[in-house]
Amino acid sequence: MAAIFFASSQTHIPDLPAGLSNHTGHFFAYGVLGASALRAFAGVSWAGVAGLPALKATVLASLYGVTDELHQVFVANRFPGADDWVADTLGALTGVGLVLLLARIRRSRRARIDSV
């Protein structure tokens, strides 16, 4: 969240490498935030990665996206946009989804190992 706030506070953001769009940057940043928040809400335990922590992580990241867009009202040369918030939320959903998928894979492997 601090890195996102710092980037959002800059009056000029350099172009992303390889011609990636601003929305792609939002998507990846909030994907990392969503995934990190899920791990935190899960108590940094793969066993804790489940529906309620996933919902909390997604809501937290999405709401932070709203506050980030509002923050940009006060930064010179920066403008809030609903399109950026949509990219934030989609990134958070994707990050959370990937962690849920990894947790399911880990549980499946553990069950196979335990049944042998």
Tell me what the mean pLDDT of segment 7-13 comes to: 92
Task: Print the domain residue range for 64.
Answer: 23-114
Tell me, yes or no, whether 88 lies in a domain. yes
- What does the pLDDT look like over 43-93, one tens digit per residue? 999 999 999 999 999 999 999 999 999 999 999 999 999 999 999 999 999
Residue 91 covered by a domain: yes
Q: Is residue 5 part of a domain?
A: no
Could you tell me if residue 90 is inside a domain?
A: yes
Those residues whose C-beta lies under 8 Å from the C-beta of residue 73, and which sit 6 or more positions away, are 80
Query: Which CB contacts under 8 angstroms, 24+ apart, belong to 56-61?
Result: 57/92, 57/96, 58/34, 58/89, 58/92, 58/93, 58/96, 61/30, 61/33, 61/34, 61/37, 61/88, 61/89, 61/91, 61/92, 61/95, 61/96
114 vs 60 pLDDT, higher one: 60
Number of domains observed in the structure of the chain: 1
pLDDT value at 26 more than 80: yes
Query: Which pTM value belongs to this model?
Result: 0.92
